[in-house]
Amino acid sequence: MIITRIVLPALAVMAAGAVVALAQGTQTAPATAEPEHIQVQHCLVSFTGKLPGKNISRSQEEARKLAYDILARAKKGEDFDALVKQHTDDQHPGIYGMANKGVSPAAGEYPRQGMVAAFGDVGFKLKVGDVGIADFDEKASPYGYHVIKRVK
């Protein structure tokens, strides 16, 4: 019980100090904050009826399996650009710069909210060099599966 009596007041004092520091503007943003600008390369794996102007014959399950195969291969170190060139239903090289919400886009960048939602939701969480996937979702990723690598 003595530990509880000592630790809890100490935590309260620390928390109060953090609130004062934040109010005074002396605390920096948490390390988990998303970056303002990123550049990603992606491989779009679509399926029948989901990509306007393209006649894609694979089923949704075939698209999911291919996307996860590409993801696994990329995570093992396979050349991501070569995977994109071979498999994307978008245009190669599929490299896009994005500015985060509330940030003005730099030259050649797109605003995050101007892209498919899942594209930014995955891309901004990745560290440079990491690969992730945006699963098909009617609202957030309506064109299929996006295998995404953060390049900058």
Residue 132 has pLDDT above 50, yes or no: yes
pLDDT in tens, 19-61: 333 334 444 444 568 999 999 999 999 999 999 999 999 999 9
Residue 112 has pLDDT above 50, yes or no: yes
pLDDT for 119 equals: 87
Residue 110 has pLDDT above 90, yes or no: yes
pLDDT in tens, 73-108: 999 999 999 999 999 999 999 999 999 999 999 999
Residue 3 has pLDDT above 60, yes or no: no
114-117 long-range contacts, Cβ below 8 Å, gap at least 24?
A: 116/140, 116/141, 116/142, 116/143, 116/146, 117/141
pLDDT for 2 equals: 38
pLDDT for 31 equals: 53
Residue 9 has pLDDT above 50, yes or no: no
71-80 long-range contacts, Cβ below 8 Å, gap at least 24?
A: 71/131, 71/132, 71/133, 71/147, 74/131, 74/147, 74/149, 75/131, 80/41, 80/43, 80/131, 80/149
d(CA 113, CA 98): 9
